[in-house]
């Protein structure tokens, strides 16, 4: 059985390089038969694809997808900056 750190590294490399994802901000933790994905993506579809690509790299393991979809809220009050020069 592969060490947890190598499993996590392999899944992260796949999430970075797979053209279905190209997601660099997902943190993968592997612990025995369990894999947990954490981070943020821009849509529910991208969240699903992250789990799909991770699952392909971890056959037989249980992938728990805790990735969330980033909110896009309306702008808030402007911030006034004092001139530095």
Decide if residue 85 touches another protein (CB under 8 A). yes
**Phi, then psi, of 38 in degrees rounded to 5:** -135, 150
Considering only 2, 5, 22, 56, the residue that binds another protein (CB under 8 A) is 22
Calpha distance 85→47 (Å, rounded):
45
Decide if residue 48 touches another protein (CB under 8 A). no
Q: Which is nearer to another protein, 45 or 66 (CB)?
A: 45
Decide if residue 52 touches another protein (CB under 8 A). no
Least Cα distance to 20 among 64, 55, 60, 70 occurs for 55
Residue 33 structure tokens: 């038969």
- Rounded to the nearest whole angstrom, what is the least distance from the CB of residue 45 to another protein in the complex? 5
Decide if residue 72 touches another protein (CB under 8 A). yes
Residue 26, burial from CB neighbour count under 10 angstroms (0-12, 13-18, 19+)? buried
Contact residues toward another protein (CB under 8 A) are 19, 22, 25, 39-40, 42-43, 45-46, 70-85
């Amino acid at each position: 059985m592969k060490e947890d750190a190598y499993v996590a590294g392999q899944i992260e490399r796949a999430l970075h390089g797979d053209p279905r994802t190209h997601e660099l901000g997902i943190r993968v933790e592997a612990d025995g038969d369990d894999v947990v994905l954490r981070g943020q993506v821009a849509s529910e579809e991208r969240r699903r694809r992250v789990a799909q690509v991770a699952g392909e790299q971890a056959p037989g393991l249980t992938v728990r997808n805790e990735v969330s979809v980033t909110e896009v809220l309306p702008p808030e009050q402007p911030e006034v900056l004092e001139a530095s020069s």
